Amino acid sequence: MTMSQQSDVQAALAGRSVHEPPPERTSELLRRFARELPPDETTISDMVSALGDRGLGVLIAVFALPNILPSAVPFGNVPTGILPLVFAIQLMMGANHLILPDFLGRRKIGTHWLKALAPRVASVLSWIEALLRPRIAWVTGPRAERFVGAIAMILAAVSTLPIPFGHNLPALGLVLIGLGLIERDGLAIVIGSTIGLIGTVLLALVVFGLAHGLRFIIHAHHVRFWRYWHWR
């Protein structure tokens, strides 16, 4: 089988015509998005409109990306985690189109940092996209997407918690889930879900350990205080 025949077969498996050009990669979409941004500020509604023609997958992936790295601003992961949570809830509910609350849609943000960040993020995405292809079709089916949406909702909720380094793995899982939805790559969705849930479990264990240690310290302090006044 020649290379052209192989590409035709892959196009047919992906559900598009042989002569139809391949869809724009998310990395290229993000670069174009950065070039077309207004010079000063934009609204979240306009950002979603620019990115939303590719479905909820690209929105989840793009808006979860900032939470992969440690936030330079205290509690900076909280506002950036709200939008992926909104998108994941709608994915879980099987929404045919995105419904963005007005209070979020009207919110304005500066575009300077977006113009600087988007090309860097696109470079990372282009490397990941080279590994993606349509596979494990049952994971990307309509019924399975509701279950995937439930997992994404959990990961998005965890990524909003103001706990240092607690949001990194769940956010990485969200990005892989979003890219898997875009490229119909069930393996990417499974890997992303696994990474995100592992991060969630590790965070829960850390929080439980800290809470247990704090309880032990408080109890020891009370016992010491009681003994001091009892034997005084």
Q: How far is CA 62 from CA 13, 227, 229, in A?
A: 26, 57, 59
Confidence of residue 222 (pLDDT cuts 50, 70, 90): low
Q: What is the DSSP string of 167-191?
A: SHHHHHHHHHHHHHHHHTBHHHHHH
How many C-beta atoms surround the C-beta of residue 18 within 10 A? Answer: 12
The domain spans of the chain are: 20-230
Give 107's contacts (C-beta < 8 A, 6+ positions apart): 43, 44
State which H helix or E strand residue 110 sits in.
Answer: strand 108-110
* 160-215 pLDDT tens trace: 887 777 788 999 999 999 889 888 899 999 999 999 999 999 988 888 887 777 77
- The structure tokens 């499974």 sit at 190
Confidence of residue 5 (pLDDT cuts 50, 70, 90): very low
Confidence of residue 12 (pLDDT cuts 50, 70, 90): very low
pTM: 0.74
